[in-house]
């Protein structure tokens, strides 16, 4: 290959770059054009007419659709929504990084927690962190000021999602009662009974046990 008025030889053991647009691989000189964004070897990627090397310690993105992981360049296509590493998620042809301090959602089904991208499937109704709940393939956040119900069996209280099971008949807050896997709210104007042993009074659910013979109103 002729570069800068010098003939350069590409040996089998010589895998390197002699100029911005030329890369030596398998004893052949390869050219990287502006329109040529691709990979000729596991560690080499062509981007913006420059050959870039992906080292073991180099975990980063050189272009919107390319991510370096384990010395290999990986491409993120439009239809490719997946995770190649614990910290990297592919969404809208872009590799997104999940840092320790980054607790958020980049897509309806993806949540960043503890530097890991977690997926929320349709059949996956659970909690990965105190303030996050998976429902209908969407990660929902429970804030301090957000006291409500996103699903029949889930209630948000003190930034924590609480689950109401069939066998769990109890109260997690003054105005919330768990009955038949549903969280029920007791308002100031709501004075009534939702179950045989439960009565709503002054925004509080009160329970009447067998041994408890008394009157609250």
Cβ-based burial of 118 (10 A; exposed 0-12, middle 13-18, buried ≥19): buried
pLDDT, averaged across the chain: 66
pLDDT value of residue 42: 61
* Measured distance CA(67)–CA(59) in Å, rounded: 7
| Residue 85, pLDDT above cutoff 60 | yes
For the chain, domain boundaries: 1-53, 164-217
pLDDT value of residue 146: 57
| Residue 120, pLDDT above cutoff 70 | yes
What does DSSP assign to residue 154?
Answer: E
211 vs 197, 201, 206, 207, CA distance in Å?
A: 12, 20, 14, 11
The single residue listed with the structure tokens 């009160």 is 206
For 129-164, the pLDDT digits (tens) are 667 777 777 777 776 555 556 666 777 777 777 777
Angle made by CA atoms 189, 193, 199, in degrees to the nearest 5? 80
């Amino acid at each position: 290959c002729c570069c800068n008025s010098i003939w350069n030889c590409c040996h089998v053991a010589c895998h390197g770059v002699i100029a911005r647009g030329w890369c030596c691989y398998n004893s052949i000189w390869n050219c990287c054009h502006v329109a040529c964004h691709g990979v000729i070897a596991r560690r080499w990627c062509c981007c913006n007419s420059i050959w870039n090397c992906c080292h073991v310690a180099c975990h980063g993105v050189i272009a919107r659709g390319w991510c370096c992981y384990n010395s290999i360049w990986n491409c993120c296509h439009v239809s490719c929504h997946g995770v190649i590493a614990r910290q990297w998620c592919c969404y809208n042809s872009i590799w997104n990084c999940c840092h320790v301090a980054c607790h958020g959602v980049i897509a309806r089904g993806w949540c960043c927690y503890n530097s890991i991208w977690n997926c929320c499937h349709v059949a996956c109704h659970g909690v990965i962190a105190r303030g996050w709940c998976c429902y209908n393939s969407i990660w929902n956040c429970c804030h301090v000021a957000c006291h409500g119900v996103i699903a029949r069996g889930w209630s948000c209280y003190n930034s924590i999602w609480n689950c109401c099971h069939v066998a769990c008949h109890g109260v997690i807050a003054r105005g919330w009662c768990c009955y038949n896997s549903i969280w029920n709210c007791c308002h100031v104007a709501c004075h009534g009974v939702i179950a045989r042993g439960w009565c709503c009074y002054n925004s509080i659910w009160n329970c009447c046990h067998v041994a408890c013979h008394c009157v609250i109103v």
